[in-house]
Amino acid sequence: MEWRWEFTWEILPRMLWATGNTLLAAGVGYLIAVVVGLVLMLGQRTPYQIVNIVVREIVEFVRSTPLLVQLFFVFFVAPQFGIKLSAWTAGMLTIGLHFGTYLSEVYRGALEGVPKSQWEACRALNFTTLYTYRRIVLPQAFPIALPGMGNYLVGIFKDTPLLATIGVAELMHTANALGAETYRYLEPYTMVGFIFLIISLPTAMGLRRLEAAVDRAQGKRRN
């Protein structure tokens, strides 16, 4: 099965248009996830045990069930109970909530990476808990969380193909359609892979830069 250039050029416009959709879905989804994640993480550290447990269970449920199935339910089953969201809204909300639960775990791990002695210093200076988080703990947790957060930025982008099941015409959806219409899979799939690469590579590099910059800003010595 040899590579056909003219076919490649022929489908390129459709692929690029789909790429736009993919980026949009991933971008908005990630923004939602970052915020939701923070809420879910703090929701597990409130003084109220009940709240903590409830939030914990929500996180566990969402993150331990497949996004694919969640999308199916939100889009196809929820309407039978009167909740009818557009493919796009349903898609981005679901993916955002889903990755929000992951990020909440990333945040948690990072927080535990901040030495206990830093909390003690804040006590001694009589900072309020909220303030301690905002100015002392989170800034130090941030560099620890960055690699994980980067992972999920790339990850959410990578998972947008799942939106195909509910008919959001992103890259994979288009590649499948093209493949199925023309029965040539080599070009569409290879192009998808390639497009994913040329988008996620610079992203990842940017994240590296960011990590380094943050460390420098915090006067850390690199090993």
Partner 1 sequence: MSYIEFLSEFLPRLASGAGMTVMVMICATLLAVFISLLFGLMRLSSNFAIQGTATVYIEFFRGTSLLVQLYWIYYVLPLMGLTLTPFVSGVLALGLNFGAYGAEIVRGGIQSVPRGQYEAALALNMSPAKRMRRIIIPQTFPLILPPAANLTVELLKATALVALITVVDLMFVAKQINATTWLSAQVFGTALIVYYVMARFALIPFLRWLEVLAARMVGKA
Partner 2 sequence: DELTDRINAGEPIRLGFATAIPWAYPGDNGEPLGFVNALTLVVLEEMGITNYTTSVNEWAGLIPGLQANRYDIITGGMYILKSRCENINFSDPIGLFGDAMLVPAGNPQGIHNYQDVIKTGATLVTGAGFNTVEAAKKEGVPDGQMMLVAGEVEILAAMKAGRADAAVQTFFGAKEHVDKSDGKFEVTDPADMPEWTQNWVGIGMRHSDTDFLAAFNEAMAKVIGGEKWMEAVAPYGYTEFQLPGDDASTEYACANR
Partner 3 sequence: MTLDTLHPQKLEDDGPLVRFADVTKSYGSLTVLDQLNLDIAQNEMVSIIGPSGSGKTTVLRVLMTLEGINDGVIYVDGEPLTHMPKGNGLAVANEKYLHERRSKIGMVFQQFNLFPHMSALQNCIEAPMQVLGLSRDEAEERALNLLDMVGMSAKKDQHPTRLSGGQQQRVAIARALAMRPQVMLLDEVTSALDPEVIGEVLNVIRSLNSEHNLTMIMVTHQMGFAREISDRVCFFYEGKIAEQGTPDQLFGDPQNERTKQFLHAVLDAN
CB of 76 to partner 2, least distance (A): 4
CB of 1 to partner 1, least distance (A): 5
How far does Cα 182 stand from its chain's mean position?
A: 33
Q: Which stretch binds partner 2 (CB under 8 A): 8-16, 128-136, 152-160, 176-184?
A: 176-184
- Give the C-alpha separation, 89 to 32, whole Å: 12
Dig out the tokens for 75 from the structure.
């889009």
Alpha helices in 44-170 (DSSP H): 49-63, 67-72, 87-112, 116-124, 129-131, 138-159
The three-class DSSP label of residue 222 is: coil
- Give the C-alpha separation, 202 to 122, whole Å: 39
CB of 33 to partner 2, least distance (A): 24
> Is residue 110 within 8 Å of residue 142, measured between CB atoms?
yes
- Give the C-alpha separation, 75 to 79, whole Å: 7
Question: CB under 8 Å to 96, separation ≥6 — which residues?
Answer: 28, 29, 30, 31, 32, 33, 36
Among 18, 70, 94, 173, binds partner 2 (CB under 8 A): 173
Nearer to partner 3, 125 or 180 (CB): 125
CB of 178 to partner 2, least distance (A): 8
How many residues sit in the footprint of partner 2 (CB under 8 A)? Answer: 23
Nearer to partner 2, 47 or 82 (CB): 82
Residue among 88, 87, 42, 94 nearest 68 (CA):
94
In the complex, the residues that contact partner 1 under the rule CB under 8 A are 1, 60-61, 63-70, 72-73, 76-77, 80, 102, 105-106, 108-110, 112-113, 116, 143-144, 146-148, 150-151, 154-155, 158-159, 161, 172, 185-186, 189, 192-193, 196-197, 199-201, 204, 221-223
> Does 167 participate in binding partner 2 (rule CB under 8 A)?
yes
The item of partner 2, partner 3, partner 1, none sharing an interface with residue 184, based on CB under 5 to 8 Å by kind, is partner 2
Among 20, 66, 79, 193, binds partner 2 (CB under 8 A): 79
Element (H, E) at 191: helix 186-217
Question: Distance from first CA to last CA of the chain, Å, rounded?
Answer: 48
> Does 69 participate in binding partner 2 (rule CB under 8 A)?
no
CB of 94 to partner 1, least distance (A): 13
Q: Interface with partner 2 by CB under 8 A: which residues?
A: 1, 72, 75-77, 79-80, 84, 164-167, 169, 173, 176-177, 179-185
